[in-house]
């Protein structure tokens, strides 16, 4: 089945932030749009907001004035639900309350034709449960836009138990025709993005709770080594802790309290204090006028070593050898377990063990572990952690090495997995289970995470870049170190490692 033709009338119920945005998207794609809201004046306000948004686009030269007027003309405000009778598709974007949505869908089924597709923009409710109130639940599908809908490309097309594949395909093709990037998923708690993204916030908060580093330092490492646009603390401050904590709690409860999704006490404290983030002037950070933004902890300049031995394969840190050679260091390659010997200190990419454990097992006391970077040439900062046995002079040598490669260095406490590696391992692990459980394909998950939450690389593609066996080792070490089920590795990941397979064919 192909996309709905642009002559198909699209109804939007709920003219708030999301409904107005979706109405604008459908009208910009050429559809006649009928906009309804139960509250007096809300649909008119919604349309006025769209007209203002179109005027802004025209002022920026992205539309000409005639196009803006034509788009606005295609949107009609309805005074009653009955006026949605001629629609081929109705997208619901009302308040997130199951009972209210149930009543609406029963009424929509009664007023629209039997062929009209009923879609919900819900971000947390089960499509299967929503459809259960319909006489024909096969009419129902999720069409989950991201905020702001006219800007964000991603649409999660969500299939309830009764949603036929061809209906989901029609909605996906329609979303493509509207200039969006659709992904298909089964209706499971959090769909793709709100499930797979949970470790991004959770691991950051765990690191802060465990005293790995302060929040500004963890944020800086996630941004400057991981190349995420924001770190977990600045991002949750922007989202709002009430919203982010509620999603975490609902996903945790919906997966029957699976410890993978365990909420964090630090965030609960913020919610209880009313420190909800930017919108209240205080969250993890203080946004009061004159409040100083804390700077990341950065090691003072240290002397660069002049020579290094690369012992074995450095895997995803291989580029460090070339960078060191470019920085003028004398380099020798020899066999070994994937370490860098700086003649006085040994460096190892984290494998999910603490530096102290590696030092104890290898007998190398002067040992420093370092974090993963997405791209060593683009990275600006790196987190490192010394073993408890490591001398101050050896640590300085390690710092000087990374500084000579142009990186700022943040010294973490000796936590397992550091920040970027641990975050990526857990994001990829959740994504692996999402594939394993048949919720979505690997390609759609990576697309969802890059388009929906702007990750620099999909977590599964990133896992392949790190190496699946290495990633599994990190997870197994985290699980053993913490003794928590939270870090259990996905059976899918383990199977792929044994089968030498890939997530992406
Ligand atoms: P909103 O509060 O801005 O707008 C909701 C609108 O629905 C209001 O104008 C309200 O008057 C209207 N409404 C409430 N009950 C109604 C009913 N029975 N019949 C007709 N209209 C009714 O809410 P927002 O943020 O636009 O969210 C709407 C839906 O979109 C929710 O299901 C939410 O989970 C989902 N969503 C929200 C996102 C966001 O970032 N705000 C992102 C993606 C999905």
Ligand 1 atom showing the smallest separation from residue 20 Cα: 26
Q: How many CA atoms lie within 13 A of 501 on its CB side?
A: 12
Residue pair 411/385 in contact by the 8 Å Cβ criterion: yes
| CA 458 to centroid of ligand 1, rounded, Å | 29
Q: Both tokens of residue 443? A: 């390609």
Within the chain, all domains assigned CATH 3.30.750.190 are found at 307-411
Domain 195-212+214-294+419-505, what fold? Answer: 1.10.1040
Closest of 394, 461, 329 to residue 320, by C-alpha: 329
- Our answer on whether the CB atom of 41 is closer than 6 Å to any ligand 1 atom is no
Cα of 421 from ligand 1 centre, angstroms: 37
For every one of its 505 residues, what pLDDT tens digit does the chain have, with 9 covering 90 and above?
599 999 999 999 999 999 999 999 999 999 999 999 999 999 999 999 999 999 999 999 999 999 999 999 999 999 999 999 999 999 999 999 999 999 999 999 999 999 999 999 999 999 999 999 999 999 999 999 999 999 999 999 999 999 999 999 999 999 999 999 999 999 999 999 999 999 999 999 999 999 999 999 999 999 999 999 999 999 999 999 999 999 999 999 999 999 999 999 999 999 999 999 999 999 999 999 999 999 999 999 999 999 999 999 999 999 999 999 999 999 999 999 999 999 999 999 999 999 999 999 999 999 999 999 999 999 999 999 999 999 999 999 999 999 999 999 999 999 999 999 999 999 999 999 999 999 999 999 999 999 999 999 999 999 999 999 999 999 999 999 999 999 999 999 999 999 999 998 7
Q: Where in the chain is the domain with CATH 1.10.1040.50?
A: 195-212+214-294+419-505
Return d(Cα 300, Cα 359) in angstroms, integer. Answer: 25
CA-closest candidate to residue 477, choices 292, 351, 369, 347: 351
User: What radius of gyration do the chain's Cα atoms show?
Assistant: 26
CA distance 182 to 184: 7
Decide: helix, strand or coil at residue 369. Answer: strand
The minimum-distance atom of ligand 1 relative to the CA of 42 is 9
Residues of the chain with CATH 3.40.50.720: 10-187
Residue 17 DSSP SS3:
helix
CA 57, 61, 62, 68 dihedral sign is positive
What lies within 8 Å, CB to CB, of 107 at 6+ separation is 81
Does the Cβ of 94 fall within 6 Å of ligand 1? yes
Q: What is the pTM of this model?
A: 0.96
Q: 122: Cβ below 6 Å to ligand 1? A: yes
For the domain spanning 307-411, the CATH number is 3.30.750.190
Which of 94, 96, 235 maximizes ligand 1 atoms within 8 Å of its Cβ, making it the mutation to test the pocket? 94
30, 229, 235, 312 from 454: Cα distances, Å? 28, 7, 12, 35
Q: Find out whether the peptide bond into 221 is cis, omega within 30 degrees of 0.
A: no
Minimum CA distance residue for ligand 1 atom 2 = 16
As annotated, the active-site residues are 123, 144, 156, 194
According to CATH, the superfamily of the domain at 10-187 is: NAD(P)-binding Rossmann-like Domain (3.40.50.720)
Cα–Cα distance, 254 to 196 (Å, whole number)? 14
Which two structure tokens, joined as six digits, stand for 176?
A: 């493509």
Q: What is the DSSP letter of 277?
A: B
Centre of ligand 1 to C-alpha 98, Å, is: 12
């Amino acid at each position: 089945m192909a996309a709905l033709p642009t002559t198909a009338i699209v109804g939007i119920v709920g003219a708030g932030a999301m409904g107005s945005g979706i109405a604008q998207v459908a009208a910009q794609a050429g559809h006649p749009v009928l906009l309804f809201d139960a509250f007096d004046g809300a649909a008119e306000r919604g349309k006025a907001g769209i007209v203002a948004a179109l005027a802004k686009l025209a002022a920026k030269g992205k539309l000409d004035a005639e196009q803006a007027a034509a788009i606005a003309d295609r949107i009609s405000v309805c005074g009653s639900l009955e006026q949605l009778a001629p629609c081929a598709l109705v997208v619901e974007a009302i308040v997130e309350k199951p009972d209210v949505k149930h009543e609406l869908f029963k009424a929509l089924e009664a007023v629209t034709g039997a062929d009209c597709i009923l879609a919900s923009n819900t971000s947390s409710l089960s499509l299967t449960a929503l459809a259960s109130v319909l006489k024909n639940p096969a009419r129902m599908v999720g069409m989950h836009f991201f905020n702001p809908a006219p800007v964000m490309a991603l649409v999660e097309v969500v299939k309830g138990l009764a949603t036929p594949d061809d209906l989901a395909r029609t909605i996906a093709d329609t979303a493509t025709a509207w200039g969006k990037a659709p992904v298909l998923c089964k209706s499971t708690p959090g769909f793709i993005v709100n499930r797979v993204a949970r470790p991004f916030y959770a691991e950051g908060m765990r690191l802060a709770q465990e005293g790995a580093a302060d929040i500004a330092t963890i944020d800086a490492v996630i941004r400057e080594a991981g190349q995420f646009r924001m770190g977990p603390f600045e991002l949750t401050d922007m989202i709002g802790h009430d919203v982010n904590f509620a999603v975490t709690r609902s996903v945790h409860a919906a997966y029957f309290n699976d410890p993978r999704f365990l909420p964090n006490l630090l965030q609960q404290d913020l919610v209880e204090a009313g420190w909800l983030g930017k919108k209240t002037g205080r969250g993890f950070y203080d946004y009061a006028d004159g409040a100083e933004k804390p700077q990341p902890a950065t090691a003072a300049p240290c002397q660069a070593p002049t020579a290094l031995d690369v012992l074995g394969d450095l895997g995803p840190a291989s580029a460090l050898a070339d960078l060191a050679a470019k920085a003028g260091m004398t380099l020798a390659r020899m066999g070994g377990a994937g370490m860098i010997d700086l003649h006085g200190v040994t460096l190892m990419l984290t494998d999910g063990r603490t530096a102290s454990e590696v030092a104890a097992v290898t007998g190398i006391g002067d040992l420093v572990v370092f974090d993963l970077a997405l791209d060593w040439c683009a990275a600006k900062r790196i987190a490192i952690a010394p073993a408890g046995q490591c001398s101050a002079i050896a640590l300085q040598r390690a710092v000087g090495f990374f500084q000579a490669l142009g990186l700022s260095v943040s010294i973490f406490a000796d936590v397992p997995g550091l920040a970027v590696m641990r975050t990526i391992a857990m994001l990829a692990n959740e994504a692996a289970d999402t594939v394993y459980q048949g919720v979505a394909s690997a390609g759609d998950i990576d697309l969802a995470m890059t388009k929906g939450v702007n990750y620099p690389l999909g977590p599964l593609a990133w896992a392949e870049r790190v190496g699946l066996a290495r990633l599994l080792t990190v997870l197994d070490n985290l699980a053993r170190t913490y003794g928590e089920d939270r870090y259990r590795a996905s059976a899918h990941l383990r199977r792929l490692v044994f089968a030498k397979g890939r997530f992406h064919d």
